[in-house]
Amino acid sequence: MADKATIVLFSHVSNTRSITGAEKLLLFFARELSCYFHCILVAPQDGKLTQQARRSGLNVQIIPIPLVYGMYTPYAGLEADICKFQEGREYLELRDWLAALRPAFIISSTCVHALPALAAKSLGIPVVWKISETITDNEYTGISVELINRNSDEILAISHTAASCFPQEIRDSKVTQLPPSWNDQELLMAAWSTLRSERRRELRIAPGELLIGYISSFINKEKGLEHFVKMAVLVSEQHPEAKYIVIGTPGDKSYYERCVRKVKLEGLTSRFKFYGYEDSLPSAYCAMDLLVVPSLIREGFGMTALEGMAFGKPVVAYDSGGLCEVLQAAGCGGLLAPAADIGALAARVNGLLAEPGLAAATGSQARERIDAAYGPAAYRARLLGLAERWQLRYCLAPPEPGGAEPAPPAALPAGGGEPAAAPAPPPERARRAARLRRAKLRRGRLSRAKTRARRRKRPGRKRRAGGSARRKSRRGQRHRGRKARRRGRSR
């Protein structure tokens, strides 16, 4: 561990009731990065994310940090409000913590988690800003884009959609794409048949009945549950035997209750199952025959769709942001419906249910393609290249001295697309000293060593003072002895 450079990953949330797609993605990212770096995961509070991170052996620190929501929905006074955040106690304490730790670089997750990036950049610590969402497109979007560009050394985007807000010159010089993946061990593939039969028995779904699923970490209007219910009304006209399961924590309770009332009014109560947070997602996915993702916002990627296809389920979705990228990569572009078109959504579902076995065959083919595009092997190959680049770029030399102002973006040579060359790394002795100092910081030994050194100095001064007094005393005794001998001779 002492040979690995220390990096810090900042999660913007750590929910106690459920774990969001962004949290899952960051946790998977941190686990994989720990092969190359000593990773510290910072979260604002204890929750599902931190519990799973500790079980994975990650170093977890709890540091409450305000979020800058205006980075997602930019407005005219955004920069002035960020300056106010930088005067707050939380920001100053965060900056002091980073100054003491001096990581090789930090990774700030999501655009709203701006303060870690600003604090690190002000200390000369390199910043990788991880963007997992699509910043709202309005007349002030350029403010958020420029803040991210100015306070980052690299931008890590989850998809083409997430990177689309940045101008071409920034995408060419600074943006790298790293799509998400999954852990095959967590899918419990060997147990799929057992999980399916057990969960369907629990749900009272007969072996031949169709189960159409909807999953969202937090259910609100943007996640389209009402569209799913209205779609079910249309699908039930052709497939009255179909049943539906809704899994997710109500984020907007009044909206959630409205959707439940709609199910009752349509006479579909016996066909619907509503569940809150799901501890065992593998069993939930295995029980389904088809997954619907009716998101009404431009998703940065679409983790639910990716998970569904990883479990071999066909996915029908709105053409919303990154969902298009996922389904196209799986060869399922035909299962995309225009956003907010409930009739088209129902038609895609009816098409899959029209022939026995068609949904299962579509899901199986989609899994093969999605594994090739986004599976663990593809992810680790991409991450290896990133890790090697970061080690060369950020870990051979210690970060710049604290207190330095953020350096301006590297100038591009005339007519070229590559940034100016980085300064040469320091001699090997300086690099060894920097690694040793970072290792001591990780183990908490540096501060203890300083304390021991101060303690040694104080007794040392006392010993020197005591020795001086004894020497004076001996000189006094010799002097008195000589005087006494002279007096004896004079007599």
Per domain, the residue ranges of the chain are 6-181+378-394, 185-373
pLDDT at 182: 94
Percent of the chain exceeding pLDDT 70 equals 80
pLDDT at 19: 87
Helix, strand, or coil (residue 39): strand
66 Rama sector, left if φ>0, alpha if ψ -120 to 50, beta otherwise: beta
Mean pLDDT throughout 437-461? Answer: 50
Domains 6-181+378-394 and 185-373 share a fold: yes
pLDDT band at 307 (very low <50, low <70, confident <90, very high): very high
> Tokens 């020497």 map to which residue?
471
392 membership: H or E segment, kind and range: helix 376-394
Mean pLDDT of the chain: 86
pLDDT band at 54 (very low <50, low <70, confident <90, very high): very high
pLDDT digits (tens, 9 = 90+) for 383-395: 999 999 999 999 9
Residue 353's nearest CA partner among 232, 225, 229, 228 is 232
pTM above 0.75, yes or no: yes
Mean pLDDT throughout 199-205? Answer: 95
- Structural fold of domain 185-373: Rossmann fold (3.40.50)
pLDDT at 368: 97
pLDDT at 439: 56
Higher-pLDDT residue of 427 and 68 is: 68
Mean pLDDT throughout 301-311? Answer: 96
pLDDT at 478: 56
CA distances from 42 to 23, 47, 116, 384 (A): 12, 12, 10, 23
> Which of 6-10, 305-309, 399-403 is predicted with the least confidence, judged by mean pLDDT?
399-403
pLDDT at 408: 36
DSSP assignment letter at 321: B
The superfamily CATH assigns to domain 6-181+378-394 is: Glycogen Phosphorylase B; (3.40.50.2000)
Whether the predicted pLDDT of 76 surpasses 60: yes
Residue 1's nearest CA partner among 28, 48, 34, 33 is 34
pLDDT at 49: 95
pLDDT at 32: 97
Higher-pLDDT residue of 60 and 459 is: 60
Whether the predicted pLDDT of 274 surpasses 90: yes
pLDDT band at 123 (very low <50, low <70, confident <90, very high): very high
Residue 271's nearest CA partner among 238, 247, 237, 236 is 236
Strand-pair partners of 212: 244, 290
pLDDT band at 344 (very low <50, low <70, confident <90, very high): very high
Whether the predicted pLDDT of 476 surpasses 60: no
pLDDT at 106: 99
pLDDT digits (tens, 9 = 90+) for 398-447: 444 443 333 333 333 333 333 333 333 444 444 555 555 555 545 554 44
User: Cα–Cα distance between 293 and 301 in angstroms, integer?
Assistant: 12
pLDDT at 460: 44
Strand-pair partners of 250: 219
Burial-class residue 257 by CB neighbours within 10 Å (0-12, 13-18, 19+): exposed
